[in-house]
Amino acid sequence: MKKRVLALDFDGVIWDSAGECFQTGWRAYEELTGRRLDSREFERGFLRGRPLARTGHDFYTLFALMEEEPERDLAQMSHTAFLKERAKRADEAAKFDRAFYMLRAHIRDNEHEMWVGWQRPYPALIGVLDDWEEQFSGLALATTKDTASAQALLNTTERFWPVFGKEFSEHKADQIEGIAKHYQVEASEVLFIDDLLENLHQVTPTGAQTAMADWGYNLLDSQAQAKSEGYRVVSVGDLPDLFRDFLEDDN
């Protein structure tokens, strides 16, 4: 029987971390700019724009856009337009990125309970994993989150999977290939679930099987686009069927 490995994205698939990204990012932005900001106003805007962001560079761009135009609804911005805005602020975003991850590490290590309390796993997803994870040959995280933070949060669920984080690579194809090598399997023996279509695009050439989560930080119309491109879009309730199909596939 072939081995079967499950690889999951972290933020937006296993974990709802938008609150922590805002809390840490807001503090880092104030520290970097020296300006006091209305946290309630910025939080609403940040959460609307969260699907646009991947890393600290992106979080800076969200805050900068909100400060420039508080009434702007970032949920209506395309990812292409967002990347153009990010490119205009590359130097400032790089400074923020360093400050953000340093502050995250400090809060994580020194105010751990508060940090964990800003975020939570998706309970229904954890319930499905409880029922199914022993059926797989191995499980792993493929995430653009920093490895230490993803590992610390995953450990709170008593799971100790290998984490392929942003330090390994920020490209999901590299992470999937790393996971396949770790478990000594072909990429085709890996099932990867992510909430972002662009990440599925990255992974498809590896030969891994893929599915898009319909929860998390989906961009506008991305589920419909994913379906039109032939990707399987699943809800948490669909996961048992997805897992069963993957585990029973002898090809």
Contact between 15 and 119 (Cβ < 8 Å): yes
Q: What pLDDT does residue 250 have?
A: 73
Residue type, 175: Q
Q: Where are the beta strands (DSSP E) in 23-155?
A: 120-121, 138-142
Beta strand 190-194 pairing with 163-164: unpaired
Contact between 114 and 107 (Cβ < 8 Å): yes
Residue type, 126: I
Half-sphere exposure (Cβ direction) of 28: Cα atoms closer than 13 Å: 30
Residue spans of the chain under pLDDT 70:
1, 220, 251
Q: What pLDDT does residue 206 have?
A: 98
Please report, for the chain, the start and end positions of each structural domain, with discontinuous segments joined by +.
5-16+120-248, 18-117
Q: What pLDDT does residue 1 have?
A: 63
Convert 133-163 to b/e letters by CB count within 10 Å (16 or more is b).
eeebbbbbbbbbbbbbbbbbbbeeeebebbb
Which conformational region is residue 5 in: left (phi greater than 0), alpha (psi within -120 to 50 degrees), or beta?
beta
Helix axes 79-88, 90-110, angle to 10 degrees: 100
**According to CATH, what is the number of the domain 5-16+120-248?**
3.40.50.1000
Q: What pLDDT does residue 220 have?
A: 65
Whole-structure pTM value? 0.90
